């Protein structure tokens, strides 16, 4: 399925554009990061980034509706510029949910500042798959806050419209993180009053 986006760029066209901006060394780095996903023999046959993207699509690691693994790869090889381009492609054309997105960003800030070493319990309660959590930890070693934030972003991408403040509050309550839940509710109610 090739959706036309603003600027009439399809998903394959975007992948090709990103592929053309990557160096041979960056391709090697991405192949190294994909060792657990793609068998060695297959990896050895990949000579250009677009072939790597195609294999990742076949494995359903990346798709038009979920580019999180590609974004993670690009960030890990120090190409945040390309990661941002991929994220921009996936942003919905409608800006109607920007208010909710802003509130979710604010909620993520509060959660990252207040949830400590038990963050995995919250992420599991939200239903983020274990392999995704492992990938995020691998990409952000020694940075618990960034691990939590990336997992929350993964949850938002997967749940789409189901990623709401009330879902976060419920998950915090279920994890007995009542203090964080109260702080979150209080902060969002204050900002809702002004929007």
- Which domains, ranges and CATH numbers included, belong to the chain? 11-90 (1.10.533.10), 98-194 (1.10.533.10)
pTM above 0.75, yes or no: no
**pLDDT value for 32:** 93
Scan for tokens 């009330």, then name that residue. 166
Retrieve residue 185's tokens. 């509710």
Retrieve residue 195's tokens. 């929007």
Find out whether 179 and 116 touch, Cβ atoms under 8 Å: no
Nearest alpha carbon to residue 172 among 95, 110, 93: 110
Retrieve residue 31's tokens. 């192949």
**pLDDT value for 192:** 54
The stretches in the chain having pLDDT less than 50 are: 1-7, 93-96, 194-195
CA distance 84 to 75: 9
**pLDDT value for 98:** 56
**pLDDT value for 75:** 92
CA distance 33 to 180: 35
**pLDDT value for 91:** 62
């Amino acid at each position: 399925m090739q959706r036309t986006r603003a600027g009439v760029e399809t998903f394959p066209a975007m992948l090709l554009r990103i592929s053309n901006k990557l160096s041979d060394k960056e391709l090697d780095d991405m192949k190294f990061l994909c060792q657990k996903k793609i068998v060695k023999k297959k990896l050895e046959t990949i000579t250009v980034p677009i072939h790597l993207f195609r294999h990742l699509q076949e494995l359903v690691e990346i798709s038009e509706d979920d580019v999180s693994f590609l974004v993670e790869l690009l960030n890990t090889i120090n190409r945040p510029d390309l990661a941002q381009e991929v994220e921009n492609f996936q942003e919905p054309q409608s800006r109607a949910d920007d208010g909710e997105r802003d509130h979710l960003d604010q909620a993520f800030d509060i959660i990252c500042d207040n949830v400590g070493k038990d963050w995995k319990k919250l992420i599991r309660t939200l239903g983020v798959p274990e392999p995704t959590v492992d990938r995020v930890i691998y990409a952000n070693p020694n940075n618990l806050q960034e691990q939590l934030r990336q997992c929350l972003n993964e949850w938002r991408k997967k749940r789409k419209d189901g990623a709401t403040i009330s879902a976060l509050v419920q998950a915090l309550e279920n994890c007995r993180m009542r203090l964080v839940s109260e702080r979150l509710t209080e902060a969002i109610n204050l900002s809702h009053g002004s929007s």
